[in-house]
Amino acid sequence: MINQLLGLFIIFTIFSQASEPFCYFVSPKKWEVTTPHQRASHVKIGFIGKGKKGFHPSLNLASEAVTLSLTDYVKQVKSMHEADRKNHWRDLGKYQTASGEGRLTEIDTTTEWGATRLLQLLFIKERRAYILTACAIKEEFGDYYQEFQKAFRTLTILSDPLEALPHSPIKEALQKKINSYKQEPNHWESIQKIILNDYIDMGACWQIFTLKALKEAT
């Protein structure tokens, strides 16, 4: 019992060193992670699917520190998008995610590919905004709508990535490896293996962010 509490304390200490809460979502299956140089500074991760006509659907997660309430943040974002006359912004109302209620919005714009639609979920928790954005050409948007919705609903904010995992012998093994990682850095490889092989269902976003959080904390 004391050992378990000590283990939990070590894990909490490791992850609480990170400045931002742990946030993830489950991306559609078989979508690929975009390379970091393709992302702006607030964008944490991006995924790309296979398009039918060349313009590939994509999805990304951004976050930023805020002082505004969700209602005011939505107004601010609306004015930013509407500053470009090509954009047509629409509020689609409240939206339930795994971590609470956000706001779903839609932006119609035009690109070289013609009419393009973006779906944007805005969510605020503890003075931080989390933004999930998905896009596809308008003509194909209906084909991806369910996948976008499914991904948006999985938006989860936690203080520790292991909180997302159900209790299991694999989780216990992972916790033990993390606890001893500072003393035994050669455990890194087995930590990676457990996260990448045994938790595929958690999605690439959780896997990448968990490994990153662990690396940064040690």
Partner 1 sequence: MQAKECCESCDFSEFQLNSDAVYREGTGAHEGAATCLGASMFAWGIGLTIAIAIIAGVIHQSKAND
Residues that bind partner 1 (CB under 8 A): 34, 38-43, 46, 48, 51, 54-64, 66-68, 73, 76-77, 79-81, 107, 109, 111-113, 116, 118, 120, 122, 129, 131-136
Considering the complex, what minimum distance in angstroms separates the CB of residue 114 from partner 1? 12
Pair 82, 89: CB distance under 8 Å: yes
| CB closer to partner 1 out of 50 and 167 | 50
Cβ atoms of 194 and 170 within 8 Å: the answer is: yes
Sequence-separated (6 or more) residues with CB below 8 Å from residue 77: 105, 120, 122
When the beta carbons of 62 and 195 are compared against partner 1, the nearer one is 62
**Is 6 or 115 the residue whose CB approaches partner 1 more closely?**
115
Q: Are 129 and 25 in contact (CB under 8 A)?
A: no
Q: For residues 79 and 159, which CB has a smaller minimum distance to partner 1 in the complex?
A: 79
Residue (8 or 43) nearer to partner 1, CB = 43
**Closest among 172, 134, 128, 163 to 151, alpha carbons compared:** 134
- Dist CA 164 CA 172 (whole Å): 13
State the nearest-atom distance from the C-beta of 31 to partner 1, in Å.
Answer: 11
Alpha-helical (H) ranges within the chain are 2-16, 70-82, 141-153, 169-181, 188-193, 203-217
Nearer to partner 1, 1 or 40 (CB): 40
Please state the closest distance from residue 203 (CB atom) to partner 1, in A: 18
What is the nearest approach in angstroms of partner 1 to the Cβ of residue 14? Answer: 26
CB of 163 to partner 1, least distance (A): 24
Between CA 167 and CA 67 the distance in angstroms is 36
Euclidean distance between CA atoms 98 and 215, whole angstroms? 26
Cα separation of 116 and 211, whole Å?
34
Q: How far is it, in rounded angstroms, from Cα 67 to Cα 88?
A: 26
* Min CB(3)–partner 1 separation in Å: 41
